[in-house]
Amino acid sequence: MTNELKRYYSDLRDKNYRLWQKRVAECEAKEPRFRALNEEPGRVMQQAAAGKLSYAAAKSRLGQIEAERRNLLISMGLKSDYLDMIYTCTVCRDTGVDGKTGKPCACALKKEQEMMLSASRINDRETFANFNESIYPNNEQKKQGLGMKRFCERYVAALPRPEKPNMLILGQSGLGKSFFGNAIAYAAIDKGVRTLKATAYQCIQNVLNALESREDALKTYLSAELLILDDLGTEPMVPNITVETIFRILNERAAALLPTVLISNLDREGLFERYGERVASRMMDGALTSIVILRGDNLRTRTR
Ligand SMILES: [Zn+2]
């Protein structure tokens, strides 16, 4: 579980505990008998522990207290479970772990997806479901767009282990590259693949700005089950950092068989020029990478 998720559950438990305390105080103020009922179980347990009360007698007494509490609540027009501990998720009792299986609770997986979506700026507009072929200015480009959509959907279907783990999407701006990057990320998260989508700019800035260690900042990029790195070529070129960082990401992810999608406005020559032979040939390694080059007219400058 990530620290962010742990904090979420600890905040959630605090919030529900405070809500419960408020209910207890409210009931005690309205009906003084509640105070005695709330204190009584502790006394019964102590007596049982000290051997002054048999286990069966203690159990029966606790049952009586519980019944009286519930009846009292109902007589006040409240639900009988009004003073039970409050849990947002009754399966994991707001721990994120399903006590029966010891596995992450469904609510934790859902929360983690939400967190990934907001952290990665993955949006719910640019999705395969919202793909609109009418934006293409001509049949050729429409055919290319539809082919690209099918290709990307097959890639997502094969996640987390597509035959070729990497995709390199090239083409000038305004051809929908980022749309497909987002759609892949959105669909991948939907099928439970831990996905990180970032621009190369954000990635390098994160590494440069890392407060504690660059290694930790890089770890997120190295360990995501699927990484989508958009706008490759717009990141700051810092000697000994930019090229090395991108090389490490490519290398270590390939070694761990983790899929990576790279998106760039640069063409093949541009990639060689900017990143050098060693990195560019890694990006274009045909054994690991499907290279897709989008061509045509800019979709954004078209009049609607
Ligand atoms: Zn849960």
Using a 10 angstrom Cβ sphere, with 0-12 exposed, 13-18 middle and 19 or more buried, the burial of residue 150 is exposed
pLDDT (tens digit per residue) in 266-304: 999 999 999 999 999 999 999 999 999 999 988 877 544
Mean pLDDT is lowest, of 51-60, 127-136, 209-218, for 209-218
- pLDDT for 209 beyond 90: no
| Contact (CB, 8 A) for 92 and 107 | yes
C-alpha of residue 88 to centroid of ligand 1, in Å: 8
Mean pLDDT is lowest, of 102-116, 121-135, 257-271, for 102-116
Q: Is 241 left (phi over 0), alpha (psi -120 to 50) or beta?
A: alpha
- The CATH code that applies to domain 120-293 is 3.40.50.300
Mean pLDDT is lowest, of 36-45, 144-153, 212-221, 295-304, for 295-304
What is the pLDDT, as a whole number, of residue 304? 45
- CB count in 10 Å sphere of residue 38: 15
- pLDDT for 120 beyond 80: no
C-alpha of residue 5 to centroid of ligand 1, in Å: 12
Q: Which residues contact 20 (CB under 8 A, 6 or more apart)?
A: 83, 85, 86
- CB count in 10 Å sphere of residue 52: 11
C-alpha of residue 99 to centroid of ligand 1, in Å: 10
Strand arrangement, sheet containing 195-199: 195-199, 226-232, 260-264, 166-170, 289-293
| Contact (CB, 8 A) for 292 and 175 | no
C-alpha of residue 106 to centroid of ligand 1, in Å: 6
Q: How does 235-252 read in b/e, with b if 16+ C-beta sit within 10 Å?
A: beeeeeebbebbbebbee
What is the pLDDT, as a whole number, of residue 211? 60
| Contact (CB, 8 A) for 170 and 264 | yes
DSSP at 86: P
Mean pLDDT is lowest, of 70-74, 210-214, 244-248, for 210-214
pLDDT (tens digit per residue) in 134-147: 999 999 999 999 99
Where would I find the beta strands (DSSP E) of 34-110? none
C-alpha of residue 113 to centroid of ligand 1, in Å: 14
C-alpha of residue 16 to centroid of ligand 1, in Å: 14
What ranges do the domains of the chain cover?
Answer: 3-91, 120-293
The overall average pLDDT reported for the chain is 92
C-alpha of residue 156 to centroid of ligand 1, in Å: 27
C-alpha of residue 12 to centroid of ligand 1, in Å: 11
DSSP at 301: S
pLDDT band at 72 (very low <50, low <70, confident <90, very high): very high
